[in-house]
Amino acid sequence: MTDREEVITKFATKAKVTKVNAGAYLAILLDVIQAILARKRALKLPGFGSFKVNPVPERKGINPLTGKKVTFAPGVRVSFKPGQPLKEAVAKNVLAKPKVKPKAKPKKKKTSRKK
C-alpha cells in the first residue's frame, strides 16, 4: 500500500520541487477537494474520476453486545468512481505484473492403522 510519504516523494521527483513543497501542495489539493465536496457535493476530474457525496438516511440496527435496538443518525458517504483512463492504467499495471503462486501445502502422509 502506498502512503502519503511515497506520494510526496514521487510528486517532488516529477515536479522537481522539494519534498516540503510537494507536501504543502498535496495538503492544499486535499483541502480544495474537501471544500468543493462540502459545498457542491460533487467533483469531476476528467481522466481521473468523480467524487460524489451521497446522503445516508437514518437507520435502525441492533447492538450485537447487548441485543438492544439502536438508531443510527443520518449522515453522508463520499464515493469515488474512477474514469476510464485511470481504470485502463491500473489494469495495465496490475495485469502486467507476474502473479505469485501460493505455496503448496505439504501432503499428509497416509499411515496404516494396525488393529
pLDDT, tens only, 63-110? 999 999 999 999 999 999 999 999 999 998 887 766 666 666 666 666
Dihedral in degrees, nearest 10, Cα atoms 60, 61, 66, 68:
30
- The pLDDT, as a whole number, for residue 114 is 61
Any idea which residue has 488393529 for its cell? 115
Instruction: State the chain's maximal CA–CA distance in angstroms.
Output: 79
Q: Please, are residues 19 and 12 in contact by the beta-carbon 8 Å criterion?
A: yes
Q: Are residues 36 and 73 in the same domain?
A: no
Rounded distance, CA 54 to CA 40, Å? 12
Q: Is the pLDDT of residue 28 over 90?
A: yes
- The pLDDT, as a whole number, for residue 2 is 77
Is 87 part of a structural domain of the chain? Answer: yes
Q: Are residues 6 and 23 in the same domain?
A: yes
Q: Are residues 16 and 28 in the same domain?
A: yes
- The pLDDT, as a whole number, for residue 97 is 66
Q: How confident is the model at residue 112 (pLDDT cuts 50, 70, 90)?
A: low
- The pLDDT, as a whole number, for residue 95 is 77
Q: How many structural domains does the chain have?
A: 2
Q: Are residues 56 and 70 in the same domain?
A: yes
DSSP assignments along 24-89, one per residue:
HHHHHHHHHHHHHHHHHSEEEETTTEEEEEEEE--EEEE-TTT--EEEEPPEEEEEEEE-HHHHHH
Is 17 part of a structural domain of the chain? Answer: yes
Q: Is the pLDDT of residue 41 over 70?
A: yes
Answer with the residue of higher pLDDT: 16 or 1: 16
Is 108 part of a structural domain of the chain? Answer: no
* Structural domain span for residue 76: 42-92
Answer with the residue of higher pLDDT: 7 or 106: 7
